[in-house]
Amino acid sequence: MKSKSPAWPTLSRIVAALIGGYLFTYAFTAALARLLPMDKVDALVVASLPSFLIYTLAILWAFACRNAWRAWAGMALALPLAAIGFWPQWREVLG
């Protein structure tokens, strides 16, 4: 593998994939668990089982997309998803 191109974009993608991807998956799973119209235990299981597929796709996307900025933009979707997943807790904290 010739590495004539600078390393920063690649490093950025790696961080976006591993850490950003995990945070995205975490938020996605929480949001899904909260949105599923089932009792808590069922929602928990049904939301958590596909999480590894989501994480895998997020990692692949971080490397497939056009540039490192887009990778991070995708991972930033974690924020609205986290809001959906954790709104009762956030509402409590915000008073």
Partner 1 sequence: MKHKTLTQSMAWLHTWSGLIFGWLLFAIFLTGTLAVFDKEIDGWMRPEIPATSLSQSAAAQQALGYLARQHPEAKTWNIGLPGERSDTLTVSAGEQRRGGGTALDPRTGEPLAVRETAGGGFFFRFHFTLNLPRDLGIWTVGLAAMAMLVALISGIVIHKKFFKDFFTFRPAKGQRSWLDAHNATAVLVLPFHLMITYTGLVIFYLIYMPAAVDALFDGDRDNLGRALRGAPAEQQVRGERPTRSEAAELTALEPLLAEAERAMGPVSSLSIHNPGRSNARIEARPVLGNRIELTKGQSMLFDGVSGEVLRQPAVSRPSLLTQKVMAGLHFAQFGGYSMRWLYFVCGLASCAMLATGVVLFTVKRRRRHDGEGAVGALLYHIAERLNVAVVAGLMVACVAFLWANRLLPVELAQRGGWEVRVFFLVWLLSLGHAIIRPWRSAWREQLGLAAALCISLPALSLLGESLGDYLYLELTSVALGLLLAWPCWKLYQAPKERAPRRVGKQPVAQVN
Footprint on this chain of partner 1 (rule: CB under 8 A): 1-3, 5-6, 9-10, 25-34, 38, 40-49, 51-53, 55-56, 59-60, 63-64, 66-68, 85-86, 89
User: How many C-beta atoms lie closer than 10 Å to residue 93's C-beta?
Assistant: 8
Nearest approach in angstroms of CB 53 to partner 1 is: 8
- Residue 28 or 76: which CB sits closer to partner 1? 28
Nearer to partner 1, 42 or 79 (CB): 42
Instruction: Collapse the DSSP code of 77 into the 3-class scheme (helix H, G, I; strand E, B; otherwise coil) and give the result.
Output: coil
CB 31 within 8 A of CB 84: yes
